[in-house]
Amino acid sequence: MLRLIAARLLAALPNLAGVVVITFLLTRALPGDPAAYFAGGAATQEAVDQVRAQLGLDRPLIVQFFSYVGALAQGDLGMSLSTGQPVLHELLLRLPASLELVLLALLLACAVALPLGVLAATRPGSWIDQLCRVLTTAGVSLPTFFTGLLLSYVFYFLLGWAPSPLGRLDPMFSPPPTLSGLYLIDAALAGDAALWWACCKQLVLPVVTMALFVLAPIARMTRASMLAVLSADFVRTARASGLSRSTVLVTYALRNALLPVVTTLGMVFGFMLGSSVIVEKVFGWPGVGSYAIDALTASDYAPVQGFVLAMGILFVLLNLLVDVLYGLIDPRVEVKA
């Protein structure tokens, strides 16, 4: 297993190098001039050229690239021109907010999609199967920004059940002492029940919004995989042996059906990390996605490059975790590096 992990990490280095090169070139190819943006709309061409020289953008592209790679090798992702803070510091500060949102949404989606997919597969054509199809179709069809705005309008504006959808915490509360960066965990460790409940309420609408969107592929894959496994010979043999229905479904069928579901979970989680920016913008969530979009609007190169590189590293670690889970679910599976 250690050899597999080391081999996968080494194999990922060329991919990460490609991410660095492509991101660097694309940010320079996008329309917009950071020197003109930060010089101001009323700045003269001379002032813009002076700002460009201060930012080092007047140097040849190859020189800028090697300067960026040299700083990257030392763990320096650059300085954000918008905030005046190091990009690494900003990403580490905002990443827990995005991870808390994505992880809770994935847990909620799995808690609904996995049982729903299993029930739909064991009762094909029933009302549960039809409900599964309706939910998955609605989850895919409705854009996340529309779902978020609709939930905010109904539960905050009309009913008043949800708190103001602006940020991670109500302004009446102070953030918990930072230990993990995840407010629910930090508030629980601080022993502040009121603060924990306030953090939980702020999470409900954005988590439900994102979970509805990713519920569809998980439920569909669970249903399809369970249907394929339930018709297998070893399941019929288990039933003929007199084993209980729950034992056949959980021990034999579900465990063998989990491999494609785990693959889908890995793909969905990676997609959620990259697309969480929409939910973050709708709910004013201070995550890395909204940070990257704000930097992209200002033609601030360093935060965008740092965000894409961070997402690439997370994808590599996520794929590695999926490979490890394969071996835990079914020891017969051999994942070759």
3 state DSSP class of 138: helix
Residue identified by tokens 């309706």 is 134
pLDDT at 334: 56
d(CA 112, CA 109): 5
Q: Taking 50 as the threshold, does the pLDDT of residue 315 lie above it?
A: yes
Window from 127-136, 235-244, 299-308, 320-329 with minimum mean pLDDT: 320-329
Per-residue pLDDT tens digits for 144-197: 888 888 888 888 888 888 888 888 888 888 888 888 888 889 888 988 888 899
pLDDT at 34: 73
| Residue 310 contacts residue 95 (beta carbons within 8 Å) | yes
Report how far apart, in Å, the C-alpha atoms of 4 and of each of 319, 327, 334 are.
Answer: 12, 11, 10
Residue 309: which residues within 8 A CB-CB, separation 6 or more? Answer: 16, 19, 20, 23, 72, 77
Which domains are present in the chain?
Answer: 32-76 (no CATH), 87-329 (1.10.3720.10)
d(CA 311, CA 315): 6
Residue 264: band (very low, low, confident or very high) from pLDDT cuts 50, 70, 90: confident
Q: Taking 60 as the threshold, does the pLDDT of residue 226 lie above it?
A: yes
Q: Taking 80 as the threshold, does the pLDDT of residue 311 lie above it?
A: yes
Identify the CA nearest to 305 among candidates 291, 317, 316: 291
Q: Taking 60 as the threshold, does the pLDDT of residue 337 lie above it?
A: no
Per-residue pLDDT tens digits for 34-76: 777 666 666 777 777 787 787 777 788 888 888 888 888 888 8
d(CA 50, CA 69): 24
How far is Cα of residue 240 from the mean position of the Cα atoms in its chain? 43
Residue 108: band (very low, low, confident or very high) from pLDDT cuts 50, 70, 90: very high
